[in-house]
Structure 1
Amino acid sequence: MSIKDPKQLGTAIRERRRQLKVTQKELAMTCGSGLRFIVDLEKGKPTCQIGKALQILQALGLDIRIAAKDIERHGGDKP
């Protein structure tokens, strides 16, 4: 799945949490974060802390992978 914005990330997190039948409160307690953070993250709040978000992803068994796009530079040269 390609994630392009915070809202898509939040949706992916919410879907996985529901798939695992975990409540927002349970997830917050497991990760040592507040319920409000989980709610905001799932809503796609763009200012959520990346470190905490990564912790939530790990708790849900999700990975983030970074892949370079093949983008041509001006003039046709490839990087």
Structure 2
Amino acid sequence: MTRVANVGELASLIRFERRKQGITQAELAGLSGVGVTFLSQLENGKESAEVGKVLSVLTMLGIDLVAEPRG
């Protein structure tokens, strides 16, 4: 499990996993139903990314987002 504490870490995780799977940004964008510009901005850590679109990208990459209380 990878702990993600900020947008930059989420961006790095998405970019790493996309590259590991050998998928281009254009391919992942199409599979996720988002635009290439959105995906590029997401991978670069833009903080105003729409959560629904982020979840679509994570789903296509096979990444589960788990939120749990700290403590």
Could you list the runs of 4 or more consecutive aligned residues of structure 1 that deviate by over 4 angstroms after TM superposition? none
Q: Determine the structure 1 residue equivalent to 2:36.
A: 35
RMSD of the TM alignment (CA)? 0.6
Shift of 1:9: 0.3
Aligned length: 70
TM-score using structure 2 length: 0.95
Q: Kindly provide the amino acid, as one letter, of the partner of residue 67 in structure 1.
A: E
Q: Kindly provide the amino acid, as one letter, of the partner of residue 17 in structure 1.
A: R
Shift of 1:33: 1.1
Shift of 1:69: 1.1
Paired-residue identity, %: 34
Q: Kindly provide the amino acid, as one letter, of the partner of residue 9 in structure 1.
A: L
Identify, as 1 or 2, the structure richer in helix.
Answer: 2
TM-score using structure 1 length: 0.85
* Unaligned stretches of 5+ residues in structure 1: 71-79
Shift of 1:51: 0.2
Rg (Cα) greater in structure: 1
Shift of 1:67: 1.6
Q: Determine the structure 1 residue equivalent to 2:56.
A: 55
